[in-house]
Amino acid sequence: MRRSFDFKRIPILRTTSLSIVCVMLVSMAFFSCEKNEGYDKIPAPVAFSPTIPVDVDPALQDKLKQAGDIYQLNEVFNEYSWQAFVAIHWPLDADGNPMPNFTDQGAPTWLGWKEAFQVYRADGQKPAPWGAPRTASGLGLPSHLIGEAQSRLVLSSKTPTHPGNFNIADEVDQAFAGELFDQNGNLVVYEVLMNKEEFDYVVNNSLYNINGQINFSEKNDSIANFPKGNYENGELGAIEIKFAWKVLEKTDIKERYYSEEGYVIGPDSVLVKKDLGMIGMHISQKTPTGKQWVWSTFEHVDNLRQNVIEKDGKKIMIHPTLRDPDCEICPANLDLTNSVSYEFIDDNDRPHWLVKTLNPNDQKDTISTKYFSPTNIKKTQAKRMVDIPVRVQNINKMMQKYFHQQNSVWQYYELIDTQYPLDQNILPAPNLASNYVLPTSVTNKPGGDPNIALLTNMTMETFFQKGGQGAGGLIENGDPAVEDIQIFGTESCMGCHSSAAIYDGYYFKGDVLKTRSAGQTSGDFSWLLGKAKWNQDSIPVISN
């Protein structure tokens, strides 16, 4: 059962470090403690606290860089990622204060953060104050959803609203791609939230609508600059988090998932309440040494692997969430929905999906392709193209063993990796199609000399897992349609988000109002700025 709490009173926390004790059993968003003999035989691999780490100690970073020990530096950043993960999920009491232990009952810290749709409102109006419920979102949400602050709310252009549908930020599509289906044929859904530091910066600078961004750009050289925090005094910088949720069915082993209730789009575009299990989480944080931000990404261990458990004396093979291991020839990482049309052809000898896409050369003619599938259920066959590094696997094993001894749900989650700048002052590599330089135009696309070139989450960037492709697709201003040099690539958190831009002007094409955006890095690595809408009270009009 859920315990009610005052959503308005959850603050951003600055408290002293606390150790983890007790047992964590997650039921929905809350935790409970119970005794487990010998639970502390394995000590915590890293120090945990409700305080989100501001950064990896800059002095330690400098020491390891001077020694050329980037491997150990990566290990330190991986510890930082786990510390941030725990702190963001730390339970709070009814007054919004951190519970003594991570395993205590309470609402997770992130539940008090602002959902993106509350900040970048559909009507372009100023967001409600920090801590306010969903009453003011500009979406005309049904009243029964407004009061359910503890339920996740997945929005799309099909979300039923009153009196009609709005064209709002879609949280069922992946970035620059279509929809991801799990092996049950259910859509994986997403949401993005921000901490108070980022929220305050957006509100104080009126960046929540296009009008405000254009005014801001005129005064600030079209460059957004979110707060980076201060390591010495513990001042936190801007943080964005993104969740990927799967609908939990009766066939799922629910105790293996951190779960929440949520509203998703059901039949006939009706909102339906479902149990949702977390299968992916991004953490992006601007730090004093990370002008390009630090990127930590986590997934559920059952996403792609077959895992074996024992139940009632029998070994049970868990079917992966996003992959069918029994279909070895099913095409991987295929985006069926990002097409002109698709249909299942029930040919007994050659069953397949017939997919029609636009010809990339003229964007008019269609190209028909057949993709083998033994079933008419839309489900994505996902495949990771970049293995989780051994150094990350090592800390994951320690974390999982630690949480396993407590019967904790977090034993079923793993860090994929952490991406950060080795030198935040290094500028982006040349990136025009006419003057690019390999490999740096790809590996240092965002600037900062990233510690790793590629980092993706299988639940959020599934369709970037292409492997061999033209280099132009991974260069800021490259042209994949004409690029003739093949490289291996997926995508990069830092590289992709470096393309985020701020609105800096507008123009009219005929009588149609168009917006103009500034260039690379102008949005300070936050794609959320691009979700801003016009404030309809002061929208530009053609003057006679």
Average of per-residue pLDDT across 455-464? 95
211 Cβ neighbours under 8 A, 6+ residues apart: 124, 534, 535, 538, 539
Q: Give the type of residue at 139.
A: L
Contact 38, 66 (CB under 8 A): no
Between 12 and 535, where is the model more confident?
535
Q: Give the C-alpha separation, 410 to 238, whole Å.
A: 25
Read off the pLDDT of residues 306-316 as tens digits, 9 standing for 90 and up: 999 888 889 98
Average of per-residue pLDDT across 293-310? 96
Tell whether the model's pLDDT for residue 31 goes beyond 50. no
pLDDT of residue 265: 72
Contact 170, 156 (CB under 8 A): yes
Q: Give the C-alpha separation, 252 to 439, whole Å.
A: 43
The structure's pTM equals 0.88
Q: Give the C-alpha separation, 257 to 533, whole Å.
A: 35
Q: Where are the domains of the chain?
A: 113-297, 320-372
Write the DSSP assignment of 248-291 as a string of letters.
PPTTS-GGGS-EEEEEEE-GGG-EEEEEEEEEEEEEEEEETTEE
At 189 the three-state DSSP class reads: strand
Q: Give the C-alpha separation, 79 to 418, whole Å.
A: 9
User: Which of 102-111, 226-235, 484-493 tops mean pLDDT?
Assistant: 226-235
pLDDT band at 360 (very low <50, low <70, confident <90, very high): confident
DSSP 196: H
At residue 239's C-alpha, the angle toward residues 237 and 240, to 5°, is: 165
